[in-house]
Structure 1
Amino acid sequence: MQKLKHFINGEYVEPKGSEYFDLISPVTGEAYAQSPIGTDADVEAAYAAAATAFQEWKRSTPSMRQKALLALADAIEANGDKLVEVQSRETGQIKSLIASEEVATSADQIRFLAGAARCLEGKSTGEYLAGTTSSIRREPLGVVGQVTPWNYPLMMAVWKIAPALAAGNTVILKPSDTTPQSTLLLAELAAPLFPKGAINVLLGKADTGSKIVSLPGVAMVSITGSVRAGIQVAKTASEHLARPHLELGGKAPVVVFADANLERAAEHIAITGFFNAGQDCTAASRVLVEASVYDKFVELMVEQAKNTKFGSPDDEDALYGALNNQNQLERVSGFFDRLPSYAKVETGGKRADRPGFYFEPTIITGLKQEDEAIQTEVFGPVITIQKFENDDEALAMANGVDYGLASSVWTADHSRAQRFSRELDFGTVWINTHIPLTGEMPHGGFKMSGYGKDLSLYALEEYTRIKHVMSNHEL
């Protein structure tokens, strides 16, 4: 069985520890490789490589960074088939969707950040105090520690490394323990284009990530993950005042009014709720429907769910594949063991009768605002539907969760749409759509969804520090 290696200082290296764990295929439930658990010595080696590379990379010009990033985007596209193959084996995702939604999208996002590297701005140089001239320098932070999740391994790695490198930083990244290989291949493709040690990938479980975050020399820690993991990262980072950057999940409200195009809304909401088996922090998982059309909309959503196909990675007609791992399958199943008696599972609600970690597309009605499945991120192909009577109640229900990542409102009323875009307490508000992202616009949440932005110039700014330089006119 294949044994994976860390990627440190531009090459694959044998782990310094002896502990390994099995990587399990979500499609078959069987082991296909083994991954090492990163030790203190591995982390120190990665940090030394990143710190050395930073001394060179921080002096690179924006045009040099742009050139390297553009070459990386080209390499991702040229090696798209390889990336799809390794990732589908460890995620169970549909191959055609990895190609279109991660490989192509990641290349595009890198190209945007390559250009953005040349567009950083600051206050204009000028005489703000008599006899002096002030200017602003935007500088890289240093070595950045990063942790990525298993739902979109390649794209999440790109969201981390691209702005960090564009700003002149170097990186130590730990991918999820269940999905390391597309990240390793990404680092391999990047290695010839950047200084040795600019991108280091350490494998392991949560403890390896904690070791990276706790390094005193790490200037910033960035994680996409659970609220629990994000809180722990922020606590650990605070011990040496590393800058935290946290994207911690969501429970997106989807507010549907009677004047919306209900058939179109149901089709789109079902796709964006079940896409990637619902393993998406912005998934359309919590639907709120105006009372006068509630029954009709439930019927439309149930029909959509029953017609939603899931399958193996090679099935191009399927919308989604397996849940990522056994623990996640048990977690999703556990919500149904604890459903209150007044809740109704309209369709689905159980593990699919086939090998692997598959779960049926599911619609639940009858839940109350305080119920677990409304308040807690399920991260599975599960959509809940609730009823509201008026705009104020809809807003209260939409905002009545701890998360604040993404939301959408479906209406033909322009003034209502504008009010909801103002009042919804979420980092993204979509109007008559849900889930599309673009590299030019930021992604990030409020409340327990964390803070800090991915994508856009705002993300690039997160990875910089601002220095004021004042020059006295008199010698």
Structure 2
Amino acid sequence: METANKIREFHNLINGKVVPAVFGNWIESVNPADGKVWAKIPSSTVEDTEEAILAAKQAFGKWAVLSAIERAAYLRQIGDLLSQYAEELAMLETMDCGWVIRETTYGLIPVLQSIWYDAAQAASIASRGETIQLSANSFGYTLREPLGVVVGILPWNSPLFTFTIKAAYALAAGNAVIIKPSEYASVSSLRYGEILNKILPPGILNVVSGDGIVGEALVSHHDVNRVTLTGSGNTAKAIVRSTAHAPKPLTFELGGKSPNIVFADANLEKAAEGVTTNGIFTGNAGQICVGGSRILIQRSVFEEMISLMTDIIKKNIKLGSPMDPQTTMGPLANATQYNKVRQYIELGIQEGGEIVIGGRSGGEDVIPDEPSLATGYWIEPTLIRVGRNSLRICQEEIFGPVATVMAFDTEEEALAIANDTHFGLGAGVWTTNLDCAHRMIQKLESGNVWVNTYRRVGPELPFGGFKDSGFGKDSILENTREKTCVIDVG
């Protein structure tokens, strides 16, 4: 492990080589736990993106002609290789964005491996078509072909997971890939790209760090054939504008304002655990797209649930150094998000919300026993009791360890509140009534619905959103195009 006072330098990965930005400029990377600079990443420019696109385009021709079996073999080797670098990658991810080490080590890395293995297994799907007999002397068939160069734009809250989802299936389908991580959290992605290139042919996977100039140059380029974004609605709008002159397939996963609905007949202890530590007060401090930030509780059990939730928060959520395996919730990932979440807590009080628990911010107040973290971006797990869903803190994505708590009386009222949002990514339902569960699943306007569990994602099932939460999925087929062929043999 690197010493705390040593600033490490990381570089782009272009055409299989670790290279600095063309003009040698840097961006400082800050450890959110203590607010101090710990690394430097390339501040790339358009010139760097041109090199990456050229490398990807040239490598694509050789990669695309490989059979699905050959491509799958590369991806399985990557899954095997990750075990050797698990400790390093977990540490870099934790220092990069504050996600606690117990989760990056025991949760994240195994999931990354499973995605690479699943992509390897799915590779053959990308080459399958259909055959149709059109007449006695003619038949038609379809082919699946790779698109070409795929650009993946990553968020700062979960770089390695989104990197893997975007790269693995695009590579399995026969595409070349360029990853652009967030300038707030690029370190783990740059190192990850270097590790993956120990297996992959040069140019097939490239990683270029930098600000929005880099992203705009990549997505607007005529030689880029698909763009997949996990990020904000504003970034999605910018991408749409940038690609207007060169249309291409777009996939957007844009966050949410997910309801977590608890009915009176639910297992309340299980529900209290599910809507707090698993729903919103996660290892990366609620900075997760499907965070259950609107907790809706049937009125007859409202006070009991409030008591259960506050007890769980006090007993089970431990803030401290993210590198400590005992820590269960880390800091906000960067200063910008830290200040934004603090402002939302203040706004919630101004709007008439009542803080049930939490509300404090800053390392000195939140974790006074750890002076080394005094200047970090720390916010307590915070529950705010509200009386109506129209408040800004109920409508706008806060993206932090803050949830509103609201009572409802009937199933119809719960649905009306749950669907009263521009977002539609995730929803949770807690009930022992199977009929109720099916009705809620059918009527909730959400791309993902979990019953008596929450935030269950993985390669086994597709993941995507409705409404302002985006469209499309990072699946194997979305990384292909379909060609129709007709042959007359008469």
Fold shared, TM-score > 0.5 on shorter chain: yes
In structure 2, how many angstroms separate the alpha carbons of the residues matched to 1:208 and 1:125?
43
Query: Which whole-Å CA distance do the structure 1 matches of 2:128 and 2:28 have between them?
Result: 49
Who is 1:332 aligned against?
Answer: 341
**1:183 aligned to 2:203?**
no
2:381 aligns with 361
Name the SS of the counterpart of 1:271 in structure 2: coil
Deviates more, 1:21-30 or 1:156-165: 21-30
| Structure 2 letter corresponding to 1:466 | E
Q: CA deviation at 1:194?
A: 2.0
Query: How far did residue 123 of structure 1 move?
Result: 5.5
Choose which of 217, 229, 241 in structure 2 pairs with 1:235.
241
Shift of 1:121: 7.1
What does 1:315-330 correspond to in 2, within 5 Å? 315-330=324-339
d(CA) in 2 for partners of 1:367 and 1:140? 51
Of 204, 207, 210, the residue aligned with 2:210 is 204
Measured against aligned partners, the alpha-carbon deviations of 1:171-204 in whole angstroms (never above 9, x if no partner) come to: 1111111211221222112213222100110010
> What corresponds to 2:309 in structure 1?
301
3-state SS, counterpart of residue 176 of structure 1:
coil
Counterpart AA for 2:354: K
Query: Counterparts of 1:19-38 in structure 2 under 5 Å?
Result: 19-38=25-44
Aligned partner of residue 146 in structure 1, secondary structure: strand
The residue that corresponds to 1:45 in the other structure is 51
Q: Where in structure 1 are there 5+ consecutive unaligned residues?
A: none
Distance 2:123 2:16 in 1: 23
Q: Which residue of 2 aligns with 1:470?
A: 486
2: CA distance between counterparts of 1:319 and 1:58? Answer: 43
Does the Cα contact within 8 Å between 2:426 and 2:449 map onto a contact in 1? yes
Of the three residues 383, 391, 412, the one matched with 2:432 is: 412
Q: Matched residues in 2 for 1:411 and 1:404: separation? A: 21
Give yes or no for contact 1:93–1:312 (8 Å, CA) kept in 2: no
Residue type matched to 1:464 in 2? Answer: T
1:367/1:374 contact within 8 Å kept: no
Q: Which residue of 1 aligns with 2:9?
A: 3
Q: Is the 8 A contact 1:24 1:33 kept in 2?
A: yes
DSSP 3-state at the match of 2:132: coil
* Structure 1, 433-442 or 186-195: larger mean CA deviation: 186-195
Alignment of 1:168-317 (within 5 A): 168-272=174-278, 273-275=280-282, 276-307=284-315, 308-317=317-326
Against the structure 1 CA distance between its residues 84 and 461, is the aligned structure 2 distance closer, same or farther, given a 3 Å change threshold? same
| 1:344 maps onto 2:344 in alignment | no
Aligned to 1:113: 119
Matched-pair contact (CA < 8 Å) for 2:129–2:143: no
Q: What is the CA–CA distance in structure 2 between the aligned matches of 1:65 and 1:78, rounded to whole Å?
A: 21
Q: 1:397-436 to 2 correspondence within 5 Å?
A: 397-436=417-456
Of residues 206-215 and 334-343 in structure 1, the stretch that sits farther from structure 2 once superposed is 334-343
**Secondary structure, aligned partner of 1:383:** strand
Cα distance in 2, alignment partners of residues 319 and 401 from structure 1: 30
Q: Number of matched residues? A: 470
How far apart are the structure 1 equivalents of 2:375 and 2:47? Answer: 39
Deviates more, 1:409-418 or 1:116-125: 116-125
Paired residues of 1:409 and 1:432 also in contact (CA < 8 A):
yes
Cα deviations by residue, 1:147-184 (Å, 9 ceiling, x for unpaired): 10111111110011001001000011111112112212
CA contact (8 A) 2:152 2:178 kept: yes
- Displacement after TM superposition at 1:131 (Å): 2.4
**Quick one: structure 1 residues 206 and 471, their matched pair in 2 at CA, closer, same or farther if it must change by over 3 Å?**
same
- Per-residue Cα deviation, 1:34-73 (whole angstroms, up to 9, x for no partner): 2222111100000000000100111011111110000011
Structure 2 gaps, min length 5: 1-6, 366-373
| Aligned-pair CA distance for 1:375 | 0.6
Asked if 1 retains the 8 angstrom alpha-carbon contact of 2:102 and 2:326, the reply is no
Identity %: 34
8 Å contact from structure 1 (residues 102, 152) kept in 2: no
Partner AA of 2:69 in structure 1: S
Corresponding position: 1:128 with 2:134: yes
User: Which residue of structure 1 lines up, in the alignment, with residue 369 of structure 2?
Assistant: none
1:328-365 deviations in Å (ceiling 9; x for gaps): 10010010222235210111112142331111011110
Judge which range, 97-106 or 336-345, deviates more.
336-345
Superposed displacement of residue 239, structure 1: 2.4
> 1: distance between equivalents of 2:127 and 2:48?
37
Deviation at 1:132, TM superposition (A): 1.2
1:214-251 Cα deviation digits (max 9, x unpaired): 11111101110011111211232232111111000011
Letter in 2 for 1:208: V
Does residue 1:371 correspond to 2:391, yes or no? yes
Q: How does the TM-score come out when normalised to structure 1?
A: 0.96
CA contact under 8 A between 1:90 and 1:179: conserved in structure 2? yes
Partners of 2:255 and 2:174 in 1: how far apart? 28
Tell me if structure 2 keeps the 8 A contact 1:249–1:449.
yes
What are the within-5 Å matches in structure 2 for residues 65-144 of structure 1? 65-120=71-126, 124-144=130-150
Tell me the TM-score normalised to structure 2 length.
0.93
Residue type at the aligned position of 1:438: G
Any idea what SS the aligned residue of 2:197 has? helix
Aligned residue for 1:47, secondary structure, equals: helix
> What do residues 399-423 of structure 1 show as CA deviations (whole Å, max 9, x unaligned)?
1101111111111111110011111
| Backbone CA RMSD of aligned residues | 1.4
Q: Secondary structure at the match of 1:274?
A: coil
Residue 122 of structure 1: how far off its partner (Å): 5.3
What amino acid is aligned across from residue 358 of structure 2 in structure 1? G
**Which letter does structure 1 place at the counterpart of 2:47?**
A
CA distance in 2, matches of 1:309, 1:260: 27
The answer (yes or no) to whether the contact 1:255–1:289 under 8 Å persists in 2 is yes
